[in-house]
Structure 1
Amino acid sequence: MSAFEIRPTEASQAPAVLALYRAAAAGSGGLARRPDEMDLAYVEGFLAKALAGGVSLGAWRGEALCGEIHASRIGPDQFAHVLSDLTVAVDPAWQGQGVGRALFQALFAAAAQLSPQVTRIELMAREGNGGAIRLYQALGFVVDGRFEGRVRTPDGRLEADIAMGLLIPAAGGAA
């Protein structure tokens, strides 16, 4: 039996997701927002968007939320095959225990069930977040580009934002 269970996130769980995001942001600094830049309305907004045609999943141990991942559709029909605005957060106490990888695997499985079919998943990663970039590459994401000087770190340095994408073969073999 796994130490955690992955299941769909519900809008009513926004307070737990907010607490998780604040803890994750205070820890490794992998999230774009600082803890004080997140509130319930922010979380309710991204959950609503993900739940309206995308994916939001939580990793739970009992009633404790260990991690969350979400991605959403980005708009016009020409992008209906794309999941974007992807964010993953893992509680610092659970980092390094396979929660992030398990959340991604569950996201891929959930995305395969969506209609219209998803054939691309994309995310952004701060260049200084090497551990996350290595995980994303191990999962099959490739670097699509760099936005030089886009991210200002808390200490004032500027870093590139790394655009990454994963192509998923469409049913019938075409990506």
Structure 2
Amino acid sequence: MTVRTTIRRASQADAATLCAAEKATALTAGLLVSQPHELQVEAFEQKIALLEQDGLYLVAEHEGTPIGHAFLEPMTLIALSHVFSLTIVVHPGHLARGVGTVLMTELMAWAESHPRIEKVELRVRATNSRAIALYKRFGFVEEGRFEKRIRLPDGSYIADLSMARFVCQSGS
């Protein structure tokens, strides 16, 4: 079931809501790397402020309620300045409703309109088949696999995949 979703840029006022959503998401082992207690509102405030200047931080809403968020963040080193890192979180209770697709559509359109961006990278848990399928639909390919990279609370491990998409710029 697809829900009507609007997309807007994140603001400082979103920090607490987005942090709470990630804490709730982190309760499901294997979705996020962070544990709930490791997520702090201040870090969300800082990331939103940083990406207002040099990147993109989006919030997906349904009837005024945030149901997902995502961002593209530039690498800081000059040799990597053409690469942006992608993070996307569909909030609990809103999976399989098209939220990730809407966010990815906006992120990739923005990336394609910025000549600096040549490559978008992400990491995803090897067990997150829904997210992997989404990324593949948007042209991402697996570039590497990090075995036993994520240790779950029960002591078991899962692999992380490195995926990337080369962004085609007009005229290049």
Task: State TM-score, norm by structure 1.
Answer: 0.88
- The aligned residue for residue 159 of structure 1 is 158
Task: Please give the alpha-carbon distance, in whole angstroms, between the structure 1 residues aligned to 2:77 and 2:41.
Answer: 27
Kept in 2: contact 1:117–1:170 (CA 8 A): no
Structure 1 stretches of 4+ moved >6 Å: none
Question: Does 2:71 correspond to 1:70?
Answer: yes
In structure 2, stretches of 5+ residues that fail to align are none
Kept in 2: contact 1:144–1:162 (CA 8 A): yes
Relative to structure 1, is the Cα distance of residues 47 and 29 closer, same or farther in structure 2, using a 3 angstrom cutoff? farther
In structure 1, stretches of 5+ residues that fail to align are none
- The aligned residue for residue 110 of structure 1 is 110
- Which runs of structure 2 are paired with 1:20-169 in the superposition (5 Å)? 20-27=21-28, 29-84=30-85, 86-114=86-114, 116-169=115-168
Task: Please give the alpha-carbon distance, in whole angstroms, between the structure 2 residues aligned to 1:22 and 1:63.
Answer: 20
Task: Please give the alpha-carbon distance, in whole angstroms, between the structure 2 residues aligned to 1:9 and 1:60.
Answer: 11
Kept in 1: contact 2:141–2:163 (CA 8 A): yes
- The aligned residue for residue 170 of structure 2 is 171
Q: Percent identity?
A: 32
Q: RMSD value over aligned CA atoms?
A: 1.8
Kept in 2: contact 1:122–1:163 (CA 8 A): yes
Kept in 2: contact 1:18–1:40 (CA 8 A): yes
Task: State TM-score, norm by structure 2.
Answer: 0.89
Kept in 2: contact 1:60–1:67 (CA 8 A): yes
